[in-house]
Amino acid sequence: MSAPYLGIEIGGTKLQFGVGTGQSGELLTLIRRDVDRGAGAAGILRQIAEVAPGLVAEYAVAAVGIGFGGPVDAVAGRVTRSNQVAGWENMPLVEWCTELLGIPAVLANDCDCAALAEARYGAGRGAATVLYVTVGTGIGGGLVVGDKLLGRGRPAVAEIGHLRPGTDAATPADTVEAVAAGPAIAQAVRRRLGEDAVPPEARQDLLRRCGDDPERLTAKVVAEAAAGGNAIATAVLQHAIQTLGWAIAQALTLTAADVVVVGGGVSLIGEAGFFEPLREAVAGYVFAPLRGSYRVVPAGLGEGVVVCGAVGLAPQDRG
């Protein structure tokens, strides 16, 4: 059996540790800890120091892979910054982990780790080129070509959430993420509730669903309302999915990916409410000769996807 490897996922709300061989998406163990944002990067580092050495000793771990929730300099082994937790600026995380654990370490963005995992072990397994998209609090992407994670030496790659949909999107804030991510969907509905020309029954239905507090609206609530025929929710969700489909189509036109794997909380809306209209939107925008040459499928690895990718990255830097 191959030597075990440790995968660590560092996010804004959760910290996960998993041990596996990198031969499949199965893990020997998976441990989750909640992140205390108030404790900053130092608090997360303390949690790693509490958990990781014991796993390295117990499983005779040979190397560690880290998937970080934010931009990283993978070649230098440094975190660039975190948009959720303070204290990560220019942090030499690979050096720190190597000193703590006494084994080699490698670093990647968490979405890139998830892309690698889905391409090797999950819904994209066996495909030559896999585009991974996660749609949740934000929208991220990763690209795997020939079993290799593309762009490891670059500041970013396949970040389709930061495409600007159309030439009228003139500022860095005018992005696909600003339309189609979960918080953006909820915010768009809140804006619509404040308009005068809103069908009263649709407004009343939405307010009932959120207990008369629009701040409690989520993408899940919006999706449930849309499934029930709510006109406001339906219009907002359709626009979000159409915009995401446009972005995926641009990426497909450039990469000719065989499989597009879509994960994240918004994708859990499901087949009828999310994937069917998404496939339709992609087909409407993609370069015509590519139609029918790709699949758009749900992610397959669930909660441990980033850890699985980090484990797969740990044996060697496949950049």
pLDDT tens-digit readout, 192-222: 998 988 899 999 999 999 999 999 999 999 9
Q: What is the pLDDT of residue 279?
A: 98
CA atoms within 13 A on the CB side of 57: 7
Element spanning 206, H or E: helix 200-209
Handedness of CA 136, 149, 130, 30 (dihedral sign): negative
Q: What is the pLDDT of residue 318?
A: 41
**Dist CA 216 CA 128 (whole Å):** 42
Are the C-beta atoms of 142 and 112 separated by less than 8 Å?
yes
- The answer, yes or no, to whether residue 319 has pLDDT greater than 50, is no
Q: What is the pLDDT of residue 156?
A: 81
What is the β-pairing status of strands 5-10 and 14-20? antiparallel
User: Which token pair is 195?
Assistant: 């308009």
Residue type, 301: L
Which pTM was predicted?
0.92
Phi, psi of 134 (to 5 degrees): -115, 130
Sheet holding 64-68, edge to edge: 29-34, 14-20, 5-10, 64-68, 105-109
Phi, psi of 238 (to 5 degrees): -60, -40
DSSP summary character for residue 158: -
pLDDT tens-digit readout, 111-135: 999 999 999 999 999 999 999 999 9
Q: Among candidates 297, 316, 266, which has minimal Cα distance to 108? A: 316
**Dist CA 161 CA 174 (whole Å):** 10
pLDDT tens-digit readout, 61-73: 999 999 999 899 9
DSSP summary character for residue 301: S
> Quick count: other Cβ atoms within 10 Å of Cβ 242?
20
**Dist CA 6 CA 60 (whole Å):** 10
- The answer, yes or no, to whether residue 301 has pLDDT greater than 90, is yes
